[in-house]
Amino acid sequence: MKKLSFVALFAFALMGCESDSSLTPKVETYHSGYHASSSLAAFFKAEENIPPNYSGFFPLQTGHDALLTRLAMIESASHSLDVQYYIFRDDETSQLLIWRIYEAAERGVKVRLLLDDMQSRKDSDIAYLNAHPNIEVRLFNPHQYRYLRMLSWITDGDRLNRRMHNKSMTADGVVSVVGGRNIGNEYFSFKSDVEFGDFDVLMNGPVVEETQVQFDTYWNSRFSVPMAWIQKSDRVPSREDIAKWRKVSEIEHQFTSDTYNFETLSLYEDIRNNHIALNWGDAQLLYDLPEKVDNGQSQMIDGLVELLVNVEHTAVIVSPYFVPTEVGTQALVNAAERGKQIVILTNSLASNDVFAVHGWYAKYRKELIEAGIELWEMKAKAKIEHQWSVTGSSRSSLHAKVMMLDDRKLFVGSMNMDPRSADLNTEMAVVFDHPEYVLKAKQGLEGLLVTSAYKLEIEDDELVWRDVGTGEVFDSEPDAGFLLRSGAWLSGLLPIENWL
């Protein structure tokens, strides 16, 4: 079967007894532009003397700030919400966001929810949400067998291995959030065994329009399938249903009392008092076209290569999954030999949630270090900044995808430095030109490296891990047991690099 020709057979493969004529036609819809009447437009009004082509950004460095910002956007929206994610879980933070999205739809806000089909949510739950007249859900590149997903992978694995990894949320055409976070407890510092150190940005200005165009491109592509084609709900969300759920889940209580209390957060007061100060500068949105899942062509890589080729002296790369490949390693080595200062932060084996990735990354460490590149690995017990006093997490893991170039350009997005992001998944990122912020962020990262990461060095021709803060040196993967080390090593022997 040709790639994605299965869409034409959805009525038979997924709907069972329903026929093609029962399906609601897929209609192309587009963003409605900047809504000057939105309360968000008044809140994020540009300062005087800001050039009209500049965009502003506010860094979301902590999980609770990232969650609170998304809630503020949803609760302030009066016209439109466009939501696009690779993962949207069914845990407490996800339910909180979906509830507020429902409340927005009840106010008349038009909601478009685009999800990659690597979800753990039930189709019946998504269909129920989709039944609201102001909410439309589409799934990107979905599995054709809904209850036998493994069969889908066996019969169509090449297609299903290509995912929409993009992450964005836009409210009223006024503000967007773009970055590395998916939707789930571990991304928002809430009751999770693993806490991700992540990063995204709240944006205002012309780059928001670019983000909306990106969303429309995916929403209207042939790869985005309306939820009504997959499953329909015989019930529409009602006030009575929501009231019962709120009582059973105690959703408000979980976020307004005890450890997890929004009112204790500094950003909560800043939002209430209109004290959000944006950083203004030139901005550019980079993104793959959805057709990448079919033809493998990456506009994102083209844009990134142009950025990196023009680096004059310094590149700081933060990537949780870092698999440079032989070609990428040689390019980094050549750049270092030409005098470019390169610093790389990625996960250690113990903090990496995909040990197979580490097995292939490990092959290139020594060559990078010998070329003079600074290589750091995140500790599994790194202290991730947050104001909620206890996260309940037993392990930390780097998840931010950030670059700082020439002490002036900030790259923030969904893209890891690995073959999967380059060749298989679709990705997006924003690039801001703002020397003052980048210098400040770089200084902050330098402090983080000392306390929360190991510096890799070579002593007597062997790799060692140095805790710069304590002076302690390790001669094998820190905090990783024999089985984990063995699993990573064996993974490095398998011909799977292009899938990582």
CATH number of residue 379's parent domain: 3.30.870.10
Tell me, rounded to whole angstroms, the distance of Cα 426 from its chain centroid: 12
pLDDT band of 384, cuts 50, 70, 90 = low
Query: What would the two tokens of residue 12 be?
Result: 């038979």
Sign of the four-CA dihedral 163, 167, 169, 170:
negative
**Rounded CA separation 476/481 (Å):** 10
Mean pLDDT of 226-249: 93
* Segment 437-481, tens digit of pLDDT: 999 999 999 999 999 999 999 999 999 999 999 999 999 999 999
**Which amino acid is located at 277 in the chain?**
A
Domain boundary among 244, 272, 300: 272
The residue segments making up the domain with residue 98 are 50-272
Mean pLDDT of 261-276: 80
**Rounded CA separation 379/449 (Å):** 10
Q: Are residues 300 and 186 in the same domain?
A: no
Task: List active site positions.
Answer: 165, 167, 172, 399, 401, 406
**What is the DSSP-derived secondary structure letter of residue 24?**
P
Q: Look at residue 46 and give its three-state secondary structure.
A: coil
In a domain, 374, yes or no: yes
Count the domains in the chain: 2
Q: Are residues 347 and 428 in the same domain?
A: yes
Q: Are residues 64 and 113 in the same domain?
A: yes
pLDDT at 383: 65
Q: Are residues 265 and 288 in the same domain?
A: no
Residue 164 burial (CB count, 10 A): 29
Q: Are residues 138 and 204 in the same domain?
A: yes
pLDDT at 394: 54
pLDDT at 262: 80
pLDDT band of 131, cuts 50, 70, 90 = very high
